[in-house]
Chains A and B, each alone.
Chain A
Amino acid sequence: MPSSTRARSRRATLARLGGISVGGSAVILALLIGAAMILGLGANPLEGYAELLKGAFGGTEELAESAAKAMPLLLVGTGICVAFRAKVINIGGEGQIIAGGLLSTVTALAVPDLPPIVLIPLVLLMGLVGGAIWGGIPGALKAYLGVNEILSTIMLNLVAVQLFNYLLRAPLMDPRQIELGTRIPQTERLSENADLPILIEGTRFHLGVIVALVAAAVAWFFLWRTTTGYRVRAVGASAAAARYAGMPVKRMTMLALTISGALCGLAGACLVFGSETHRLQTEGFATGFTGSAGFNGIVAALFGGLHPLFTIPSSFLFGGLLVGANAMQRVIQIPVDLVIGLNGLIVVFVVSSNTLRERLSRYLSIAGEAAEHDDLVVDPPSASVEAASPDSAGSGSSGADSASGDGADPVRTPESEP
């Protein structure tokens, strides 16, 4: 019935607003702690934050830069959303970004003369493939051998970084670096035909940003509009129930990590071909190339309530924070590392606030229910059962600390429907 759909969607929206307000408080709290630290380090936090905001969102160029910085966060974050829906924790973003970046780079070096219309999709595809391999390995290990994916993805990060270092120091090194004897570990300038076109003249807003947006939309469609996506979510909600229903649990687990890895790999390809230098380079660590997107993407996804579409604004916010931090460093000499540290605090606050968030969203969903009744829209029984159930009513009205009901899976936001 249309009215029931509308009622439910309004409740979902209200519930999500509750979630966002809790997330927003987490960011504000982290920024306040950051301000205290800046003050403690002898600089002016107001000046710093003003500079941060200006540097992140102060003009077209700044906004475009923030969008470009948000691109890998959105792709990684979208991948995190898919993995988490299947209850798989992917901490291998860094390695998967590198794998995608490497495979797409090798492709561009192998067939540099293809026309852009062929080469650009090809390198992006190879990015997906590289990441899918790097995510598929821990996926298969978890699904079929029961290997903890948190540990295997971290180890594969270390392996990827060393593979990266090796390839850039030997077979992929720019021949000119060898000739000159400078031996800077970087590739030659990659084929111009693979350059991701700049979409807004004079800025860093390149095709990769659009690719990331499309990927987020596709991931949403996959999770909530396809059978396989439904299965992935079902496995995450209860592997036992999914198995009982005859779903291929192992394959879904592996698929979720593979998709997650593929999206990170796509981020890697976009980072290489959307970069200003148009080469792949290393300083011996992952962070130079990935910008820690493999970790920061987790922050963006969490802040977006593990929903691909809400991860879009969330990535933009965190991309902006990272860009703005550079501006802040220039003016008040506080290193950008501050923002990495604050990101960590935001993660801790967001996951800690789930008890609160659950209660708030349930309260708001009851408020939404009440509003529906004010509109004299008749609710079908199924929809009002939720509000009438003693559990939700109790936790909505009472302030008791232990009232939160189904705290079985605290990461997930209670409303999993879009």
Chain B
Amino acid sequence: MSDFFTVTFTVATFASGVRLATPYLLAALGETLGQRSGVLNLGVDGVMLLGAFFSYWAVLQTDSITVGLLVGIGVGLLLGAAYAAVTVVFRAEQGISGIGIFLFGLGMSALLFEEWVGTPRPISSFDKLAIPLLSDIPKIGDMFFNHNLLVYVSMLLVPGLTLLVNRTTFGLNVRAVGETPEAADSLGVSVARTRAICILVGNGLAGLAGAALAIEIGIFQHNITNQMGFIAIALVYFGAWRPTGVVAGSLLYGLVTSTVNQWKTAGLVTGAASSFTTMAPALLTIVALVVIARRSAAQPAALTLPFERGH
């Protein structure tokens, strides 16, 4: 039993947890913005898959991680534009159209991978970027300040998004549109434009999350996300629609996953029993959802409701 603890509470496990949390965090922050404007995007996983594939492919072609990340964002923006058209212009049911986007991403990423790449080849992964001085702090330095650039960017997005939503006119519009679109509309705030911008940014972040995943792993494979996008959506609920809550959830999820991985590597959990540890984060999420459901007042009032003027 003591082995469990010595393996669990190491700097390496913690640092790996922070890294694993990054794709979840990016996708969940994007989803948070969308949901605050009243739009549920269940297609995150599909967007992540396509973002992951295209950025993997781009890095394979150009050997540039920057290009890969930009391609990931670009794919996200394109799919975001499509999703904005579907949900804002055509006012389609959001839950279902999201599943459509998911299936599209699942099928197309596998198809293009088969056709364009075939046998998986590894790509160069992120370079570590140690932050001067801070990374020299014992333990804490390795836990938080010795990661790749994207980890820092995703962490900086947390206060960034909080400020955007709570302290800017645009953020006020977002919240108004997500709570009472009729009132926002009557005050001259364009519900459609505000929601479309949030969807675009949210999907761009989902695409970036996919890119982060593929480049972190250094390879693409069929269904590489294994429903990470759906977990990211759950994390938005877990975080009660606040970036600070979302980052806490993402870190927790990353830590649980990295701990489980460490247990497996150390041979503490072997064979069939490892299925239970793999299942643990999902069970944890269900428990969290039950707890969160009690304060469902935090949910944007107009979430999933299409807006149509005059109704």
Contact = CB atoms under 8 A, between A and B. Distances in A.
Contacts of B311: 407-408
B124 interface: no
Contacts of B273: 166, 170
Interface string A169-204: 110000000000000000000000000000000000
B271 A159 contact: no
Contacts of B122: none
Interface stretch (B104-112, B145-153, B207-215): B104-112
Interface string A132-162: 0000000001000111101110111111001
B86 A352 contact: yes
B272 A155 contact: no
Interface stretch (A120-128, A228-236, A272-280, A335-343): A335-343
Contacts of A146: 293-294, 296
A338 B86 contact: no
Contacts of A344: 46, 99-107
Contacts of A150: 42, 95
A298 to B, nearest CB: 6
Contacts of A340: 103, 106-107, 110
A148 to B, nearest CB: 6
A338 B285 CA distance: 32
Nearest to A406: B311
A151 B275 contact: no
B106 A147 contact: no
B309 interface: yes
Interface in A397-418: 402, 407-411
Contact of B96 (A89, A339, A343): A89
A41 B106 contact: no
Contacts of A156: 282, 286
A114 interface: no
Contacts of B101: 344, 348
Contacts of A287: 223
Among A89, A296, A408, which residue has the most Cβ atoms of chain B within 10 A? A89
A295 B273 CA distance: 28
A152 to B, nearest CB: 6
B107 A337 contact: yes
Nearest to A347: B100
B99 A155 contact: no
A148 B106 contact: no
Given A163-B279, A302-B96, A335-B115, A347 B103 contact: yes
Interface string B281-301: 011011001100110100000
B93 A351 contact: yes
Nearest to B280: A162
A50 B66 CA distance: 43
B92 A285 contact: no
A337 B227 contact: no
Interface stretch (B154-162, B164-172, B174-182, B230-238): B230-238
B23 to A, nearest CB: 16
Given A341-B104, A348-B104, A91 B279 contact: no
Given A344-B46, A410-B306, A151 B230 contact: yes
B227 A347 contact: no
Contacts of A298: 96, 99
Contacts of A343: 103, 107
Given A89-B96, A146-B293, A155-B234, A402 B115 contact: no
A384 interface: no
A245 B289 CA distance: 30
A334 interface: yes
Nearest to A43: B115
Contact of B92 (A89, A165, A351): A351
Nearest to A151: B234
Interface residues of B, number: 54
A295 B286 CA distance: 21
B111 A341 contact: yes
Contacts of B107: 337-344
A299 B223 contact: no
A249 B235 CA distance: 28
A355 interface: yes
Interface in A68-108: 89, 91
A156 B309 CA distance: 38
Contact of A352 (B97, B227, B282, B309): B97
Among A170, A351, A354, A408, which residue has the most Cβ atoms of chain B within 10 A? A351
A351 B90 CA distance: 9
A416 to B, nearest CB: 15
A256 to B, nearest CB: 15
A218 interface: no
A151 B97 contact: no
B293 A335 contact: no
A43 B148 CA distance: 41
B203 to A, nearest CB: 14
A348 B97 contact: yes
A117 B136 CA distance: 73
A347 B96 contact: yes
Interface in B68-106: 82, 85-86, 90-93, 95-97, 99-106
A334 B110 CA distance: 11
Contact of B283 (A91, A159, A302, A410): A159
B260 to A, nearest CB: 11
A347 B93 CA distance: 11
Contacts of B138: none
A161 B228 CA distance: 15
Contacts of B276: 162, 166
Contact of B227 (A158, A296, A345): A158
A351 B96 contact: yes
B108 A341 contact: yes
Contacts of A163: 275, 279
Given A150-B42, A295-B99, A155 B285 contact: yes
Contacts of B82: 348
Interface of B: 42, 46, 82, 85-86, 90-93, 95-97, 99-108, 110-111, 114-115, 223, 227, 230-231, 233-234, 237, 271-273, 275-276, 278-279, 282-283, 285-286, 289-290, 293-294, 296, 306, 308-311
- Going nearest first, the 9 A-B pairs with the smallest beta carbon separation are A341-B107, A344-B103, A347-B100, A344-B104, A340-B107, A166-B275, A162-B279, A169-B272, A348-B100
Given A141-B290, A155-B282, A298-B96, 6 more contacts: A148-B289, A151-B237, A154-B230, A337-B108, A354-B92, A355-B91
7 contacts: A148-B289, A302-B96, A347-B97, A351-B92, A351-B96, A354-B92, A411-B93
